[in-house]
């Protein structure tokens, strides 16, 4: 470039891809069960556009009963792994998650369970 006084112009363009997580099924309905009996279902977590490994954390709701007591009737288990991994073909592997509910007190709930990656998405 020093021997040639011509100026070069380089134009760069790109697209920002934000990682996201989809779920199959997209919502969860657990069947009513007798008190202190566990009900459980599996969901598939489908990560998309993750370019590096990220660990999924879960925020479970705390429920307040009519008498003011608070309970945590939900639990989550990842039987294989809870890390989002980029495979050699550039896709992200699906994760399996079991969500269960058990309560010794009568309760119903409509709300959200949050799945959060390491960057708090």
Structural contact between residues 60 and 68, judged by C-beta atoms closer than 8 angstroms: no
Inform me whether the pLDDT recorded for 76 exceeds 90: yes
pLDDT single digits (tens) 8-28: 778 888 888 889 999 999 988
* CA angle 32–64–28, rounded 5-degree value: 40
pLDDT for position 3? 67
C-alpha span between 73 and 9 (Å, rounded): 61
Confidence at 4, pLDDT banded by 50, 70, 90:
low
Burial class (CB in 10 A: 0-12, 13-18, 19+), 95: buried
Q: Where are the domains of the chain?
A: 20-116
- CATH number of the 20-116 domain: 2.60.40
**HSE (side-chain half, CA atoms, 13 Å) at 116:** 10
pLDDT single digits (tens) 54-69: 999 999 999 988 898 9
Question: Span 37-61, mean pLDDT?
Answer: 93
- Average pLDDT of every residue of the chain: 89
Q: Which residue has the tokens 């007190």?
A: 105
C-alpha span between 98 and 40 (Å, rounded): 7
pLDDT for position 2? 63
pLDDT for position 38? 95
């Amino acid at each position: 470039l020093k021997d040639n006084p011509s100026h070069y112009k380089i134009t760069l363009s790109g697209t920002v891809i934000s990682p996201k997580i989809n779920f199959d099924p997209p919502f969860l309905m657990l069947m009513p069960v007798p008190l202190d009996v566990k009900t459980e279902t599996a969901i598939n977590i489908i990560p998309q556009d993750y370019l590096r490994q990220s660990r999924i954390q879960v925020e479970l709701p705390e429920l307040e009963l009519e008498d003011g007591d608070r309970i945590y009737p939900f639990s989550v288990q990842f039987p294989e792994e809870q890390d989002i991994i980029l495979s050699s073909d550039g896709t992200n592997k699906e994760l399996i998650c079991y969500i269960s509910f058990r309560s010794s007190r009568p309760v119903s709930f409509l709300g959200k369970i949050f799945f959060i990656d390491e960057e708090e998405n």
